[in-house]
Amino acid sequence: MDSVDLQVMKSARDWLASGHSVVLATVIRTWGSAPRPIGALTAIREDGMVVGSVSGGCVEDDMIARVRAREIARDKPALTSYGVSAEEARRFGLPCGGTLELVLEPLGAHSGLDELLTRVERHELVVRTLDMETGAVRIAPGKWSDQLVFDGKSLVSVHGPHWRLLIIGAGQLSQYLAQMAQGLDYQVTVCDPREEYADTWNVPGVELTREMPDDVVIAMNLDAHSAIVTLTHDPKLDDMALLEALKSPAFYVGAIGSRRNNEARRERLADFDLAQHEIDRLHGPVGLKIGSKTPPEIAIAILAEMTAIKNGVQLAGLIEPPKQTTEGCAAPMAGSKS
């Protein structure tokens, strides 16, 4: 499953190969309630065909008209902005006076799209540096900490899987979760040492490892762009991974199971060398409470919670509150009877 940006880049490459001229628009700054994030892409063909979005449809019509009239980005990259004034915000439908600043880049053989897509399809993270004066492009390896940077002279954009997801267990739910996560720019790894599950795994673009879960967590060196979800229902496997993951900087650590099973899991984890604040990081039962029953619905609930945590959204009322644990025993919640 391609991410939105990957679809834009693939379409732009194919249009160029068919002899069309193409302008690539990249969001580099936003103010107010801008409808699309920094880094969002749109590719516009000279005949008005368009793929992707930089504004949710607010300003694309104007850009299409300007590209078809060859008014912008004819020979080299250029800057443009929308919604600077209240009048423009109303004209282009930007919410609450939102403002977008864009880099418009005429694409060509020098743009490095073939190399970029080849490397991204190998699950590499790469940075693309565009010289605003000459239009020259350089492709280089990226790091998890890289972000889009624009200094007026060059635009450095990041492409590929910005986030990593480690799934413990290769069952049916893991298949849906892995497929959907790829569409959200996750590089997905599935870990399952059980032959009966690993031997039937077949999700394109997802790495499968048969190593023990704790070894995999340590080897991946999880960082703040990483998430881990345990889905085996087997404490011998899930707990091994959680013992290491909860000590890592991973932004999300979740475990499948009922509330009772997760309370028991927290009690087990408290018997090991985990501090209380580390145990408190565990999201379990995993996923938002949306009434999900089927594997696809549960996968959506998990990714919804991961996305909210990643974006700093408060989730009170949508998640199961965990029981507190102290020294291996369940402690009563405030106001409850022991």
**b/e per residue, 275-290, with b = 16+ CB within 10 A?**
eeebbebbbbbbbbee
Q: Which has more pLDDT, 262 or 83?
A: 262
334: left (phi over 0), alpha (psi -120 to 50) or beta: beta
Interhelix angle 4-17/113-121, nearest 10 degrees: 140
- Helix ranges (H only) for the chain are 4-17, 60-68, 86-92, 113-121, 172-182, 195-198, 213-220, 235-245, 259-270, 276-279, 295-310
Mean model confidence pLDDT for the chain: 86
3-state secondary structure (DSSP) of residue 261? helix
| Domain architecture of the chain: domains with CATH | 4-159 (no CATH), 163-329 (3.40.50.720)
Are 136 and 259 within 8 A, CB to CB? no
pLDDT reported for residue 335 = 38
pLDDT reported for residue 99 = 78
Residue 190 pLDDT level (bands cut at 50, 70, 90): very high
Which residues lie below 8 Å from residue 28, measured CB to CB, with a gap of 6+? 38, 101, 102, 103, 148, 150, 155
Token output for 163 = 């986030």
Distance CA 260, CA 281 (A): 17
Share of the chain above pLDDT 70, in %: 85
Distance CA 191, CA 198 (A): 8
Of 117, 206, 105, 111, whose CA–CA distance to 165 is shortest? 206
Query: pLDDT by residue (tens digit) across 89-123?
Result: 566 555 555 678 899 999 999 999 999 999 888 77
Are 33 and 59 within 8 A, CB to CB? no
Query: pLDDT by residue (tens digit) across 136-163?
Result: 999 999 887 788 999 999 999 988 877 8
pLDDT reported for residue 81 = 85
Q: For the residues 64-76, what does the mean pLDDT come to?
A: 86
pLDDT reported for residue 333 = 38
Is 228 a residue whose pLDDT tops 70? yes
